[in-house]
Structures are given as C-alpha cells and as structure tokens.
Amino acid sequence: MRLLQLACSCSSDQRPALACCRNLSCFRWHNAFASLCCGAGTWAGHELSVEGGSVVVETADREVRIPYTQAKTPAELDYNSLGVQQVWECTGVFLTRKALQPYFDKGVPKVVVSAPVKDAEDPVLNIVYGVNHQAYNPKKDHIVTAASCTTNCLAPVVKVIQEKLGIQHGCITTIHNLTNTQTIVDAPNTKKSDLRRAR
C-alpha cells in the first residue's frame, strides 16, 4: 500500500523536504534530525539525501527511495498516477468533509485525519483504538480520524470506569501542553471566542 502525507510547501529558496512547516522547512534540518532515533542515539549506518523528488535512505547493503510531493491543497496532486490508496492528512488545515473532498475527487479511497473532523450533519468516526475501533465500517467510513489528544487520554480511562463501576456524572480538567494558538507572553488574545487561551 502506498501512503502519501500532504505537507505545506517550502519557499522556492529552500531545498525540498519530506514534510515541511513554518519552523521545520529545510531538508538540512530534517537530515540532521533524522540521524537521531527518538533520543535513543544515532541512526548509525544510514545516509540521507534528496534526489529527483525522492528522499534517499542508503545503508551498506541497500537503498530505499521514498517519493515525496509538495502542494498547498489536496486538489493540486494527481493521486491516481502516484498509486495512492490512503492519505494521512496531518496538516491540521483540512478539517471538514468539504475541505477533504478533493482527495476523493482525485481518486483517493481512504483518508485518515490526525485531528477531529468537524461536521455536525454527517459526523466522521473518531477512532480511539481499544475503545471504539470495532465501530469502523470499511464500506462506509472513508474518512476516519484519530480523535483529539484529550479524547485519546480520556476515553480509555472512562471506558474502564464505565464498564467496571459505572458513571452517573463526569467533569474533567484538561492540562495541555502549549499549543500553536496559545499566547505565551502578555498579549491580546487572537482567538476571541476562547478567552481561556489568553491565560
């Protein structure tokens, strides 16, 4: 199965990268970062480079080419010619059925979104593995999400308490790491609908 993750495009003066964002857009940085393995030490014996639309990973005995693309919107790529069977939408930008429709218009059969998809009329299945993954219906659920970070933390605990003890009423407080939309210094709150984010 071929997978494709849409990423923001780099500006023209930067070298291509497998995944780009405002802060991590240069392949040289990715190359240095990829030489580390989750803080467990160096990724010894692997050389990374970019050649003709592919990230090339070389070891002593083999070479793997990982094709990449760059586009700002899903409608810009020809997924059929790439043989894409599933897209992992991880930009955090396309979060409605309407915004995700170009993937399907271009021939992608399945889209997994890393954040909750907002659609009140036709809700998208939020999957928390071990809690409700059995609700997935491959004939119907062509878009699924990995739910939110809060849902992933809370749902497994609530499931066990509900099944073993029962819950009549609940109230939670989420203590979350800093997010991209939070102000970290005294400044006006740009998200006027949620004054708590200004704290």
Cβ count within 10 A of residue 158? 15
Beta bridge partner(s), residue 42: 36
Distance (Å, rounded) from C-alpha 62 to C-alpha 58?
6
Q: Which residues of 55-92 are buried (b: 16+ CB within 10 A; e: fewer)?
A: bebeeeeeeeeeebbbeeebeebebeeeebeebebbbe
Which tokens go with 172?
Answer: 């939670």
Which tokens go with 83?
Answer: 């043989």
- 149 among known catalytic residues: yes
Residue given tokens 């991209």 in the structure block:
180
Active-site position among 20, 90, 149, 153: 149
Which strand (E) or helix (H) includes residue 152? helix 149-164
Tell me the CA distances in angstroms from 86 to 31, 89, 159, one per residue in order.
26, 9, 29
Question: Which residues carry out catalysis?
Answer: 149
